[in-house]
Chain A
Amino acid sequence: MTRLALRNLFQSKARLVISIGGVALALMLMLSLDAIFAGVEERVVAYINHTGADLFVSQSGVRNLHMASSWMPASVAEQVADRPGVDEATPLLYHSNLVSVGDERSAAYIIGLPPDPAMGGPWSIAAGRTTPGPGEAILDEGIASTTGVGLGDEIRILGRTFEIAGLSEGTATQGGSVVFISQEDFSQLRPGPPVISFVLVRVRPGADVTTVAEDIEAEIGGVTVLSRPAFASEEQKVVRDMGNDIVAIMNIIGFMVGLMVMSLTVYTATLSRRAEYGMLKAVGARNGDLYQTVLTQSLVSVLVGLGIGLGFTLALAAVAPRLDVPLTLVVRPDSVLRVAAASLVIAAVSAILPIRQIRRLDPVMVFRGR
């Protein structure tokens, strides 16, 4: 019966291609949306994961960077540096803003670095300096390339002109980038009393990260201290919580589309072979055997569709970084498993209509030419 199912399925190549293509696209719809949000989650923590810090000290209640702001008195950096177990403490200034590069304005995380920072600077430099001096900025290489600027050219941040002194790698985010300037310049862009946004902490070898974090939080008022993994996890949670509802809705629609396409395919394949199924019934085939044929066709189509959909999504993920589109796709195993599970449900449900059709089939009708 499996052979019969496969022959029936592969007999019309054009129909097979169209139907598998439809299922593949529907599953790709689910996979790619998941991959887009997973990509955003991955990109959004690139800076955090590359700071080299063990702990992030921020304003009380602030647990991430994206869409957040943290302001603490500048004295907090020295207080943190004096705590036991702290090896290095680097103060950072941060806010998100727009950067004008040529005629383009793009969103950016602006990071204000102290001279010779131990942590928090660009982690990979394609060209130029690794630390910005006064009046200098380090820009993402990709943003520089798409906007046609390079070392020595100018960018504008909050109305002030900076010379591009370095080009960093891996610092592009969804629709934006990380730009590094000196802390001195940053302070001039933000008038007011001396403040810092975060203190990055490296703990002494042998010191317990959790103990140091608890000590800083207890002894210095008005701060929140998180380990780097916890801070990164909170950052990803922002993206996840923002995207959950929309991903769920789109997944349901993708599932419905896939179900509809697969139902149509299996139904059409069964319909066009109605006479043959009737003949099989007439020569003694049981309904169970015929149901198995239909289910096998459905399952094979869906699994091939899943393979192709996954292949397309992986190809898109590989190609996207080379195209001038602000998209990073990351296909995660849990997402593939979920879509695979949805595929099995689609295969089973789409076989219901044809099975009903076969059950009602009267073998005698075949010989009457109906």
Chain B
Amino acid sequence: MLLARRNLFQERTRFGLSVSGVALAIMLILLLNGFLTGMFRQVTSYLDNSPGSILIGQEGVANLLGATSTLPDGAAARASEVDGVERVVPILSQFVILDLHQKKVPAYMVGYLPQEGGGPWAMAEGREPTADHEVVVDLVLARRHAITIGDSLDILGQPFTITGLSEGSASWMTGFFFVRKTAAEGLLQSPGATSYLLVGLSPDASGEAVRSRLADQPGVDASWKTDAAANDLRLYARFFSAPAKLMVGISFWIGSLVVGLVIYTATVERQREYGVLKAVGAGNATLYSVVVIQAVIAALAGVALGVLLAYGLAEWIMAVRPQFLILLESDDILRALMFGLAMALAAALLPAQMVARLAPAEVFRR
């Protein structure tokens, strides 16, 4: 252990560079995971914060963001007559692309009835819309594009006045904005249309039985909001998991190569000393452990620094780009540690092989 540590720390700059290399690789892995976790949290924010526990969509629709739903006429009235249903909140919702300062900004429009609910769940400033030309925009979206209360916003060719800014409704992929349902009907050329019903149950109702009765209504599907949120997550994960896995894979191998380079160089430089150790009776196992301990120390130091850097950078990114939510969870830290140890073992392979092949007599012949 002492020998491994001394060998590693003898050249401090080299050790520092290697720890930095591993740290950057770990930081990248953590940030990628943090981005995905944060994005997934934001994806379900509407379903997490809107009223009710059941989502009724058009038949075949069990998602919110990933689907377009148009309910049959009278669906809301039929749902409110079902035993066990306490509250039915209709919304008309749809992704739209906003053109803000020469930038294309995907945003999710929610048309709601202010007296029923389903609109913004936390207002940062201003008030909810009281007329069809008024809109509440997500606070982060507004700040990113320097728009504020009183400004005009063009939505699908129609001018709207911003009356409020909502909180907790942002995402780097999309932000929410809220208009009155009648305004959304006009924008989507769908008078009287409803996309979804958010259904709240009576306290004494048997949830699954009510959901089943709602699902039996003609032309609709009824899902638990938690299931609809899980479906949205699955859909988004399908888009992003392949690129993220590719990035994480590349980062892992960069980290392994960085540790490998350092341990290999340190081993080559101490080849004579390893030979002497062999000549005086040290077994291969002892020498392997010297190599592996060096790799583990370098990797663990890199992991520790990488975790700190990831936290620091995540905070900085969220400060300058508030649309990003980067969530670093304890599971991710644990995974980074496992990655670090795996890097150390992969990195120790080549030097360990070299030590194993070393003939003690060669040392004395040189």
Contacts and interface: CB of A to CB of B under 8 A. Distances in A.
Interface in B1-48: 11, 13-14, 17-18, 20-21, 24-25, 27-28, 31, 35
A22 B261 contact: yes
A68 interface: yes
Nearest to B59: A159
Nearest to B20: A260
Contacts of B258: 22, 260-261, 264
Interface stretch (B78-86, B99-107, B202-210, B273-281): B99-107
B246 A327 contact: yes
A156 interface: yes
Contacts of A159: 58-61, 219, 221
Contacts, number: 211
Contacts of A21: 253, 257
A95 interface: yes
Interface stretch (A139-147, A190-198, A339-347): A190-198
A69 interface: yes
Q: How large is the interface on B (under 10, 10 to 19, 20 to 34, 35 or more residues)?
A: 35 or more
Contacts of B261: 15, 18-19, 22, 261, 264-265, 268
B97 interface: yes
Nearest to A244: B103
A261 B21 contact: yes
A32 B248 CA distance: 12
A335 interface: no
Nearest to B353: A14
A216 B67 CA distance: 32
A222 interface: yes
Interface stretch (A57-65, A121-129, A201-209, A361-369): A57-65
A268 to B, nearest CB: 5
A175 interface: yes
A245 B73 contact: no
B157 A22 contact: no
Contacts of B58: 158-159, 189
A7 to B, nearest CB: 17
Given A64-B97, A98-B67, A195 B189 contact: yes
B319 interface: no
Given A15-B268, A193-B189, A250-B247, A62 B97 contact: yes
A286 interface: no
A155 B59 CA distance: 14
Given A22-B254, A22-B257, A264-B14, A237 B157 contact: no
Contacts of B31: 249, 253
Nearest to A234: B104
Contacts of A241: 103-105
B265 A59 contact: no
A220 interface: no
A349 to B, nearest CB: 13
Contacts of A191: 70, 72-73, 193
A366 B178 CA distance: 75
A237 B231 CA distance: 28
Contacts of B96: 67-69
Nearest to B235: A107
A253 B14 contact: no
Given A68-B95, A249-B317, A256-B24, A25 B257 contact: yes
Nearest to B98: A61
B190 interface: yes
B18 to A, nearest CB: 6
26 contacts: A12-B268, A18-B257, A18-B261, A18-B264, A26-B254, A29-B251, A32-B250, A33-B247, A62-B156, A63-B99, A69-B188, A97-B66, A97-B67, A98-B235, A100-B60, A157-B60, A159-B60, A191-B73, A192-B70, A193-B190, A238-B97, A246-B35, A253-B24, A260-B258, A271-B14, A353-B13
Chain A to chain B: the 8 pairs with minimum beta-carbon distance, closest first = A159-B59, A60-B157, A159-B60, A61-B157, A71-B189, A264-B17, A22-B257, A175-B239
Interface of B: 11, 13-14, 17-18, 20-21, 24-25, 27-28, 31, 35, 58-61, 63, 66-70, 72-73, 94-97, 99, 103-106, 154-158, 172-174, 188-193, 219, 221, 231, 235, 238-239, 242-243, 246-247, 250-251, 253-254, 257-258, 260-262, 264-265, 268-269, 317, 321, 323-324, 350
